[in-house]
Amino acid sequence: MTLINTYADRFIPVFIRVATMFVFIPFIGARMTPMFVRIGLVLALTLLLLPVAEVRTDNQVQAVFEAAFVGTALGLCARLILGAIEMAAQWISVEMGMGVAAVFNPQFGEVLGPLSLFYSFFAMGLFFIFDMHHLFIEGVVRSFAITTIQYHGIFDAVMKLNGFLFPLAFKIAAPVFLVQVLVNIGMGFLAKAMPQANIFFVSFPLLIFLGLSSIALSLSLTVYVLAKAFDHVRDAIMAFTR
């Protein structure tokens, strides 16, 4: 309480900047994480930053707005990558015929396919393995050293990162797409050669089996693609916090 009273004029902007960023961070900002844990982490980091954070105190309204803008921009960098992974998982589920299956995803708080749940937790694990959470903490610390918020530059950096969303999703789903297309073409020729056979009942389990096999064999490629995507996130964060 003594620390908060000493830096009372800085507490609200610092707390808002950290809180808005943490909302988008995987696992930490997920709905399945207890509220008191999320608030405790935000408050702990805020108290650590209070003595060193440089915040404008002459205009509290502008300081709060800048804190919310910068924190949201930092958090969106993480959410865009997760959105691309979620998109790829949905494509794969539909292509494999598993789009009708659905489970609750606590990360996004909605009902998604089983592959979406797998890819979400897989990406979350890589997020922490590659120390990306440390990068975002470093980013929010570096953001306090910015004397003038460059809104246009930050917006451009986030939009540039948004341009990687569709290509990233396609790279993750491409191996499965390739196998599924080849199988569908083969089944089409088989249906023409044997019209009396019910190809649908044969192709459905085959598509699922080959799809799961393709996912397992392409996991190393997925890790490589996500590592490159995290590098783009690092570049984007460093671009608008320098």
- Predicted confidence (pLDDT) at residue 105 exceeds the cutoff of 70: no
Residues whose CB falls within 8 Å of the CB of residue 231, separated by 6 or more in sequence, listed in order: none
pLDDT for residue 6: 60
Q: Kindly report, residue by residue over 110-119, the tens digit of the pLDDT.
A: 566 677 778 8
More confident residue, 130 or 30: 130
pLDDT for residue 147: 66
Strand 103-105 vs strand 110-112: parallel, antiparallel, or unpaired? antiparallel
pLDDT for residue 231: 83
Q: What average pLDDT score do residues 154-166 get?
A: 76
Give residue 175's identity as a one-letter amino acid code.
P
**pTM for the complete prediction?**
0.75
The domain total for the chain is: 1
User: Of the ranges 3-7, 43-47, 154-158, 217-221, which is most confident?
Assistant: 217-221
Boundaries of domain holding 69:
2-241
pLDDT for residue 99: 62
- Predicted confidence (pLDDT) at residue 76 exceeds the cutoff of 60: yes
Q: What is the torsion angle, in degrees rounded to the nearest 10, for the CA atoms of residue 142, residue 123, residue 31 and residue 241?
A: 10
Beta bridge partners of 105: 110
Q: What average pLDDT score do residues 213-240 get?
A: 83
Where does residue 153 rank: exposed (0-12), middle (13-18), buried (19+ CB within 10 A)? exposed
